[in-house]
Amino acid sequence: DQQVKQNSPSLSVQEGRISILNCDYTNSMFDYFLWYKKYPAEGPTFLISISSIKDKNEDGRFTVFLNKSAKHLSLHIVPSQPGDSAVYFCAASEDFGNEKLTFGTGTRLTIIP
Amino acid sequence: ETGVTQSPTHLIKTRGQQVTLRCSSQSGHNTVSWYQQALGQGPQFIFQYYREEENGRGNFPPRFSGLQFPNYSSELNVNALELDDSALYLCASSPQGLGELFFGEGSRLTVL
């Protein structure tokens, strides 16, 4: 039972354009959402998060949007840079501070120079 | 400030054997979590330790066990290894209640 789904296994985007990564969830108890980025041979690193009381959170080139009624969130990266090429994981927890995270299967983003 | 470190980075075991994976938490972090990442999957929560006590467990059998030590380092033990235990095992630490995990590079276990 996949409670967090990333339906696009891969995505290629031209450098300088916008990258949009999508994530859907089924568990209505999820209240806090995070995006992690993973390079090969490294552990995942935290990118950005959002609480369910907000619908948008922005940090530099990264913006996460949450549509709670649709149980959908997305990560926007603009402008995309070659260093953004990595696997991106969406994760969810039932409340802020709860480190039991449920992860999606990841989307491999490739930025084309 | 050192980050989360794990050892060994790679190891090969045979079915039925036992394995111990080790993790040193990031300085100042008192919570440690372990995740299993199978090939092509996202990390799956195994369990979490806070102040040396188990503080939550995912859907893993009892042959997966752990320890957290007073210096906040941790071990993951897996008994009676099965082929499906082949995966990347990730350790993550955090100051309790922050909600953000800091991951190590992982230990890749292959069971033959």
Per-residue pLDDT averaged across A102-107, rounded? 96
Of the candidates A97, A100, A103, the beta carbon closest to that of B42 is on A103
CA B49 vs CA A22, B35, B56, B96: distances in Å: 31, 12, 8, 10
Closest CA to B8 of B25, B24, B21, B26: B21
pLDDT at residue A34 in the model: 95
**Tokens 């995942």 appear where?**
A44
Chain B partners within 8 Å of A97 (Cβ): 96-99
Binding-site residues on chain B for chain A (CB distance < 8 A): 4, 31, 33, 35, 40-45, 48, 56, 58, 90, 92, 94, 96-106
- Residue-wise pLDDT for A46-59, tens only, equals 999 999 999 999 99
Inter-chain CB proximity B42 and A91 less than 8 Å: yes
Closest approach of A81 to chain B, Cα-based (Å): 24
CA A79 vs CA A64, A75, A76, A92: distances in Å: 14, 12, 9, 26
H helices then E strands: how many in chain A?
Answer: 0, 11
3-state secondary structure of B111: strand
Residue of B nearest to A41 (CA): B105
Q: How far apart are CA A15 and CA A12, in angstroms?
A: 10
H-run or E-run covering A109 = strand A107-112
pLDDT at residue B86 in the model: 97
Q: In this structure, which amino acid lies at residue A69?
A: S
Inter-chain CB proximity B90 and A106 less than 8 Å: no
pLDDT at residue A57 in the model: 97
Closest CA to B35 of B66, B12, B1, B10: B66
Cα A49 off chain centre by = 8
Inter-chain CB proximity A106 and B42 less than 8 Å: yes
- Residue-wise pLDDT for A39-95, tens only, equals 988 999 999 999 999 999 999 999 999 999 999 999 999 999 999 999 999 999 997
Residue B50 has pLDDT above 90, yes or no: no
